A and B are shown apart, each in its own frame.
Chain A
Amino acid sequence: MFKFLKEKISKVVKSLSEKIETKKPVEKKIEVEKLVKKEVKKGIIKKVFEKVTKKVLEKRISEKDLEEVLENLEFSLLEADVAFEVAEKIKEDLKKNLVGKEVRRGKVKDMIIQSFKDTFSEILDVTKIDLENIVKEAKKENRPVILIFFGFNGCGKTTSLAKLGKWLRNSGYSCVFAASDTFRSAALEQLEEHAKKVGVEVIKHKYGADPAAVAYDAIAHAKTRGINFVLIDTAGRAHTNRNLMEQMQKIIRVSKPDLKILVMDSLVGNDAILQAKMFNELGIDAIIFTKVDVNQKGGAILSVSHLLNKPILFLGTGQSYSDFKEFDKEWFINQLLSE
């Protein structure tokens, strides 16, 4: 996974470390003024200087060493769909960590990798979501945990919802789906078919019905039967569409979700940042990335994490229900940096 980004990074690490390792203390010429004559004329001392070149030895990593490689790094990151500002950050961090440092022989590579690790770690550093605790809290209040899914058209909301449903069931929780996508053709049928396969009940209205009302009914249903989770599936929407964003706000108002989950297509390029920014007006609590198996680049994950500072819950990694991986920071960083 993320082969592309990994290759790019390892290439940069290699070329940079080779460059610095093979770097000999460089001779550098600087000009200094040297006093050559001193004479006294009519009581005035006159000093005569001459310009002389002197050789000095330069040993540290200079900005110049990094320049070319850093430029390369930036392009490589951009090629891997890392957004512009994030690529800049990685570049700057690396510069900060390396410029002016004196490095022992053989340790350069480790140092570069450590710098990448620190940067990625900082980008992905967020408080994890404690699902068990959320369930406990909800139980105290005698209500189900409510999760709402939203995102752009075709990003994989319904599939992710079904996968999470399966995952919850496997973890011993009961759940119910709310078919709040009442707009797209066959959205209801799609959810019902998933539900049948995962063994979960669906609460639905007709097409064109108020999505908030569907969510409300599903929550009421779950309450009376003591079901642990309500998963609300909403219609795909463009983040630029005011009316649909307002509709989403209404669904959120009515359902009062514990987690608002943004579903993001990992194939999206630089637009990912803008999409996330605009969806964040609704207040994102967690993110699920889909179609990760198709993409070897994985840049969007870094970009969106950097921007939102919100935890990534799962990665969708294939067509079947079990292709659903809990996101783990260490694992992800290892994927990118391991040899």
Chain B
Amino acid sequence: MLDLGKNLSNLIMKILTRTTVDPEDVEVLVKGLQKILLQTDVDVKLIFELSENIRRRCLKEKIPPGLTLREHVMKVVYDELVKLLGERQASLLGKKRIMLLGLFGSGKTTTAGKLARYFQKQGLRPAMICSDYHRPAAPEQLMQLGDKLHVPVYVSKEKDPYKALKEGLSKFSRYDAIIIDTAGRDALDKELSEELKKMDKICQPDEVLLVIPADIGRIGGKQAEEFNKLVGITGIIITKMDGTAKGGGALSACSATASKVKFIGTGENLEDFEAYDPVRFVSRLLGMGDLESLLEKVREAEFREEDVEKIISGKFSLQDFYNQISSVQKMGSLTSIANLLPGLGHAIPENLLKIQEDKIKKYRHIIQSMTKEERENADIIHSSRIKRIARGSGTSEKEVRDLLKQYGHAKKIMKKIGGIRGMKRGKLQQLVKQFGLKL
């Protein structure tokens, strides 16, 4: 199933190299796309609608000037998917009462913590209310998250969800945002859905966010529809995007509730939370590399002019080495970079990248533990200094020696590059960049 992305890329490459649109080619593409979407749990009805739109637009619309056929078709596929999922979302700023709901074990409580962290990062003061008194230790979980973030949490001593809401809302009325965590429920369960309705009435939320795991099957649409009937969903948060699931079930939820994706949970830590980005999400759904954000990221991590100067002149200190490592890190984890490159994401074994990543992290720590003098002139680093650096950076002496060896290699290569006369500046920069990526 991991090969799906590769397949679609190949499919598009192979059949869409021509300049004119051939209905048969489009049909092959649509069939391939259907297969992929089916396997990512997208609702069957939606898939047929989507295929119809793609067929129509590919065959009837004129290709805009400046675009190749391939680009045009890609754009149409993107557009149609984004139409369902939503454009980039407006932030939640100014929204005061935010209620989270969803099925059992979809990650509501963790998301409540992540959302609180998000508000904090915006410079706002969030508070949380626990109205889940079904699951054992749910209040404790929210309280422990609150402790970590220094965010107040209101828990009803009587274990009454309605009371918790009433009292919590009045207690936190001065806060910028109040996040309400509710119990997991099956939207078709009568008792639980009544409870939700009543809570909604008391709370009068500004936002009702449905929390959906990325790996949910086609049941996602049905449940979302029911939830929407009960209280009216204003947005969707997709969790567990760090697994292998592509989030196709969420598409059904979007179409069933006519609401859009707002956030994506990408890991178990409170920081693993992103605002939804349609381009990235669709790329992932189809398993296609996302060149656009890669370019953007590379631009951010651009090398500084003076670094290049230094390298040309053959002076390459540990400090420069450090800057290089850092700029590679700025681009995000190597794993995520590899995923952005079409084809590469499949080609590199994952643990290899993980090892590289850990190594780079360690290298940074080691260099940080050096004095300024040592960084400028690596030759003075001898055994007693190595001992000190290892202790200071929490690494072993062997690792410090490894780093020095790596640095030696890098220096040699840099000298060679610098030695090639007549090399154009741009080309050199490119080479440096390549070297940086290969570290």
Contacts and interface: CB of A to CB of B under 8 A. Distances in A.
Interface of A: 75, 78-81, 83-84, 152-156, 183-194, 197, 236, 238-243, 265, 267-275, 278, 290-291, 293-297, 299-300, 319
A270 B40 contact: yes
Given A152-B243, A185-B141, A293-B186, A299 B217 contact: yes
A226 B234 CA distance: 55
B347 interface: no
Nearest to B184: A154
Centre residue among B143, B145, B216 by max chain A CB count within 10 A: B216
Interface in B242-276: 242-246, 248-249, 267-268
B41 interface: yes
A81 B218 contact: yes
A186 B144 contact: yes
A186 B141 contact: yes
A267 B216 contact: yes
Contact of B104 (A75, A272, A294, A297): A294
Given A154-B104, A268-B213, 10 more contacts: A186-B143, A188-B137, A190-B137, A192-B137, A238-B243, A242-B351, A267-B219, A269-B218, A274-B245, A295-B217
Given A84-B39, A190-B141, A269 B215 contact: yes
Contacts, number: 158
A271 B41 contact: yes
Contact of A190 (B2, B113, B135, B351): B135
Given A79-B218, A270-B39, A275 B141 contact: no
Nearest to A246: B351
A26 to B, nearest CB: 30
Contact of B243 (A190, A275, A296): A275
Nearest to A273: B1
B138 interface: yes
Given A154-B105, A240-B242, A186 B138 contact: yes
Nearest to B240: A153
B41 A185 contact: no
B1 to A, nearest CB: 6
A183 B268 contact: yes
A78 B44 contact: yes
Interface residues of B, number: 54
Contact of A156 (B35, B43, B104, B144): B104
B41 A153 contact: no
Given A75-B44, A185-B145, A294-B104, A271 B215 contact: yes
Contacts of B109: 185
Nearest to B104: A291
A280 B209 CA distance: 34
Interface in B211-255: 213-220, 223, 239-240, 242-246, 248-249
Interface in B95-115: 103-107, 109, 113
Interface in B26-45: 35, 38-41, 43-44
A240 to B, nearest CB: 6
Nearest to A188: B137
Nearest to B135: A190
A319 B354 CA distance: 39
Contact of B244 (A156, A190, A274, A296): A274
B198 to A, nearest CB: 19
A270 B105 contact: no
Centre residue among B43, B134, B188, B218 by max chain A CB count within 10 A: B218
B68 to A, nearest CB: 32
A5 to B, nearest CB: 11
A165 B219 CA distance: 30
